[in-house]
Structures are given as C-alpha cells and as structure tokens.
Structure 1
Amino acid sequence: MAAQFNFSKETPPDSMFSDIQTLNKFHDDQFSQLVEFVFLFLIEPTKSERLVNQLEEFASENGVGPGPLKNVFKSLLVIPNSALKKSLSPTHVQEDLVNLGLSEEKANTFIEQWKTNLALLSRSALGQTLMVNQLVDMEWKFGVTASSSELDKVGNTFLQLKMVINTGNGTKNTYMELSLPQFYSFLHEMEKARASLEYLS
C-alpha cells in the first residue's frame, strides 16, 4: 500500500522521490548547507538572487551540475513550504521526508533545523498571509508535553495559537504550535509590526 503524505493530498511525482533520494548521496555537511539555504529562502523569499548565487557556488565547490541541483533543491523546498501552509508538526514533516526516501539521519538533521527556525518561519509565513489577508482574531492556550520520545521534552510548556483570518471570501482558521521562547519572540514581532502599522497610518 502506498504511503500517505501529510504535505500533499496526492502522491508526489516520481521525480520528487528521485530528487529527495539523491540527497542521501551528499555528505552530512553538504546536506546541512542545502537545508540552511532552504530555510534562509523561506524566511526571506524576496532574496531569490542570493539563493541563485548560493546554489551556483555550492554546485561549483562540490562538483555538482547546477541543473540537477536546482531540481533537487526545488523538490526539497516544496515540503517545508507546504508544511507551513498546513501548520504540520515536525513529526509529520519528518514522516514525509522518510516516506520520500530520505535517510532517517538526514531527516533528523532537517527537523532539527526546522525546529530552530520555526519562529522565524512562522513569522515569515504569517507576514505573507497578513499582507493579503486581515487578522480578525487571535487566541492561544498553553499545554504541557505529557509524553515524548525525547525524555528532556516531557514537562515542557508549549502554546497552541489560533488565528482567524479574513480571506475576503469569508474567514479561515490558521493554527500554530510554538514553544514558550518561540511564542515570546512571536509576540515581540507582532508588537513591532503593530507599531510599524501605527506609524505608517
């Protein structure tokens, strides 16, 4: 039976499986560098010129064809980009990467960077959402991790955020799960955004 994917309703094309499995051939430091490029671009999507330069430099330094590298990178980028829109958990993202054929070790590397960048990624995604949609309401509730495969995570406080967005065709609920430090960082950024809007108006 074919694996179900969280980031996509449909089974991804064969080319995507092939691209993701190609990543297993990269050394750990090379893979980490590519993942870093993915998150830098997701955080600052307007910096496309910087991304092109980074990929060209990477291809030149590592003896990789720029064309195939671009395809592999685009396939890798689809997953976190879709995951942010669907507010997927790190576990779901990791599951999808492994089901696409990425090794457990490399999937772990990706998820560690995902967790590290989550507050910035969420802020960037929210910023893009709010550029075209109006925030109607926001509410949050706290929770405590009762069980986890990682012992040090048990007892950690997390926060579930619900935002009601006016899309122009009605309202839509968007959900996010953040750790406490990520939430405080998020609130700080929201305050800065509000101050900027007040200044501009």
Structure 2
Amino acid sequence: MSLTDLNELDEKGYTSLISAVVAYLKNQKTEPLTATVSSISSEFGVPLKKLKLCTKHIVTILSETHEETAILTSLTEQGLNDDQAKTILKKLNASEDNAKEPLMLNKLVNIDWKFGTYISVTASSSQCEKFGSAFFQMKLSIENDGAVKHVPVEMNVSQFYNLLHELEKAKSCVESVSKT
C-alpha cells in the first residue's frame, strides 16, 4: 500500500482530507470522513477507491503509532513527502486532547467466551479433522459510533494460546510503562 496517490491533491484538498481524518480519530464519526473523502475524490478526479484506501492506511498508522518520529517515518516510507507528513503531525498536535490520550478506533465493552469440542458428525471430508478437536469461542462487544456491535471469534487451542501469550506480553509492557 502506498500513499503516493495523495500527491494528486493540491494543498487545500490534502489539508481538508487530513483535517477530516484527525476529526474522525477524535470523534469516531464516520459520516463526515466519508463525505469529505467522496467530495475530494470528485473534486480532484482521484478514484474514490484509491482515496478510501489511502485514508484507511493513514488512520491505521495514526492509531497504531503514537510517537512523532515513528509517525513521520511510517508516513514517509509509505510515499508521503516530508511536508505532507509534517502537515499530518501539525493537525494532530492542534487537536487539544490528542497528545494526552491514545487514539481509539473501537472501544471493547465486553467479552463472552467458552471452550468446547466439536462433536457433530458430518459427511464432509474437510470437516473430519475438526471432529473431536477443542476450540475457543469469544463474542466481543465493541462500541463504535455510539452503537454496540457483537463480533464472534473462534479459534483452535494453539491460536488461543498464541493470543494469550500476546496479551500477557502487552500486559507486562503496560505495567512496565506505568511504573516509570
């Protein structure tokens, strides 16, 4: 994925797109961002699909990276020039609460989970290896734009242990940061 398609925008179009992205990250309202992306696409003749992909990529970078140097590096590696990357940082820093709290795309409200085993007998050969094997199911309740949606997740035991290992690493990382 490359952000070089944003070079087709002039400064006004680029600035309004970045303002909409930062507002989205702050308010979690998708409608204004979608409307801005659509209007910029039609105004500058950039294909809507490309512009949406670039926008999603910027949102991902900004939500996963919190240090300015890492954001600049990620954006320039993806095809933005230094001025464009610095414009994004200026917009982020202008947002008053951004420096104090992390960006959240979705808020996890609840997790329901259970372990189980496959016990049904099927005639399908692709399902035979599942027979008698253990699984782990989760139902994640996620809040986005004020509405709660339920996302089902199912994994085998080794996938569950990998997830558990990653969660333990994240917990120790958070604990070490909070102690300093």
- What TM-score, normalized by structure 2, do the two folds share? 0.54
**Structure 1 gap ranges (5+):** 1-15, 133-166, 177-201
Indicate the residue corresponding to 2:20 in structure 1.
Answer: 37
Tell me the distance in 2 between the aligned counterparts of 1:63 and 1:104. Answer: 24
> 2:7 aligns to what?
24
Name 1:89's counterpart in structure 2: 67
Verify the 8 A CA contact 1:90 1:111 in the aligned structure 2: yes
The answer to whether the 8 Å contact 1:90/1:115 transfers is no
> What displacement does 1:41 show?
0.9
Partners of 1:94 and 1:130 in 2: CA distance:
28
Deviation at residue 126 of structure 1 after TM alignment:
6.8
Q: How many residue pairs end up in the alignment? A: 121
CA RMSD, Structure 1 to Structure 2 (Å): 3.3
The yes-or-no answer on 1:112 pairing with 2:90 is yes
Identity %: 21
| Deviation (angstroms), 1:103 | 0.5
* TM-score, with structure 1 as normaliser: 0.49
Deviations 1:145-192 (A, max 9, x none): xxxxxxxxxxxxxxxxxxxxxx9xx9562769xxxxxxxxxxxxxxxx
Secondary structure at the counterpart of residue 40 of structure 2: helix
2:17 partner letter:
L
Q: What displacement does 1:100 show?
A: 1.8
Greater Rg, structure 1 or structure 2?
Answer: 2
Match of 1:179 in 2: none
Worse overlay, 56-65 or 116-125: 116-125
Change (3 A) 1:127 1:103: closer
